[in-house]
Amino acid sequence: MPKMKTKSGAKKRFKVRASGGIKRSQAFKRHILTKKTTKSKRQLRGMTAVHAADEKLIRAMLPYA
């Protein structure tokens, strides 16, 4: 059997934590930032956990993570 391929888009977007959870970066921080408040932009910094409903799909895209 050949090796399974990792989805390269998922590889760039998600990281698997040591505890087994998956983390992702926040959306809505790329453009059209002038109309967003400083508070909302500050709260979009950093990483957050992937929702439990989506974890199974992401794990399928990252077979060796």
Within 1-65, residue ranges assigned H as helices are: 8-13, 38-43, 52-61
Q: Is the pLDDT of residue 37 over 90?
A: yes
The structural domains of the chain, ordered by start, are 8-61 (4.10.410.60)
In the predicted model, what is the mean pLDDT of residues 3-32?
Answer: 96
47: nearest Cα among 20, 18, 15? 15
- How high is the pLDDT of residue 39? 98
What was the pLDDT predicted at 29?
96
Whether the predicted pLDDT of 8 surpasses 90: yes
Give the pLDDT of residue 65.
87
Model's pTM, two decimal places? 0.83
Q: If you ran DSSP here, which 8-state letter would residue 33 be given?
A: -
Per-residue pLDDT tens for 50-60? 999 999 999 99
- Taking the C-alpha atoms of residue 37 and residue 58, their distance in angstroms, rounded to an integer, is 31
